[in-house]
Structure 1
Amino acid sequence: MMDSPTSVVEAAFRHYRSQDRDAALPLYADDFTFTSPRDDHIDKAAFFERCFPTADRFKEQRLLHVTPVDRELVLVYYEYELMTGDRYRNVEAITVREGLIREVQVFFGGGV
């Protein structure tokens, strides 16, 4: 049985925070793309090289809402605290199809 899009997304966040690259890799499609204000449609290899190893910047990250929008789209609203003590909130729109994360679009929020 295939995992729900919400459970796939929650697992991806857990693996990111624990920096378990081996567990995270199979959750992402080969044609995965990642977009944020700092990255424009980078591929899976670039994401795992540039973005995935950044969890050590965070003192804490809390998922405030993980909301399925339809069969494939999950919105994640989260808050994080940097090691500097600064706190922020972001939203991610994550497309999950056939049990794999196909696309992540990150929308940076402001300080809390």
Structure 2
Amino acid sequence: MSGSKSDIIRALFAAYLANDRKTVEDFFTDDFRFTSPYDDEIDRATYFARCWRISDWIERHQLERIFVEGSGVFVTYRCLAKDGKSFRNTEFFTFEGDRIRRIDVYFGATYRHGVFVKQSQ
């Protein structure tokens, strides 16, 4: 696998949307780690057990910003669901060569049909 980090990010999001778990797995290093407001430094196996979902509920991802600096990439995207729900997240990807070593997720607001939906804690 080779290409610019921006191209790899675009291919990763396309693989998520296509439910192509094998391709997503190939993008991650063996020592991959994932952190979000719900997960703290979980490993690759735990990530796929806990976080991998069938993405047939997603209408599309809009990749709004991709900033690359060295081995780090910030990505802000809007996810649009088929039921009218949408949310915007920012993720920080750390690369090791052409593979992703870690992802840190920062959640944004959620909307349904364009109206803000307050999330419970």
- Aligned pairs for 1:8-87 (under 5 A) are 8-68=8-68, 70-87=69-86
TM-score by length of 1: 0.87
Aligned AA for 1:80?
C
For structure 1, the 5+ residue unaligned runs are none
Q: Which runs of 4+ in 1 moved over 4 A?
A: none
Q: How many residues align?
A: 111
RMSD (Å) for aligned C-alpha atoms:
1.7
Instruction: State the Cα deviation string for residues 9-59 of structure 1 (Å, max 9, x = none).
Output: 221111111011122211100000011111111111111222222523323
TM-score by length of 2: 0.81
Cα separation, 1, equivalents of 2:17 and 2:49: 15
For structure 2, the 5+ residue unaligned runs are 112-121
Which has the greater radius of gyration?
2
**Identity across the alignment (%):** 33
Task: Indicate how the Cα distance of structure 1 residues 2 and 83 shifts in structure 2: closer, same or farther if over 3 A, else same.
Answer: closer
Cα separation, 2, equivalents of 1:75 and 1:107: 11
User: Comparing both chains, which one has the higher relative contact order based on Cα–Cα distances under 8 Å and sequence gaps of 6 or more?
Assistant: 1
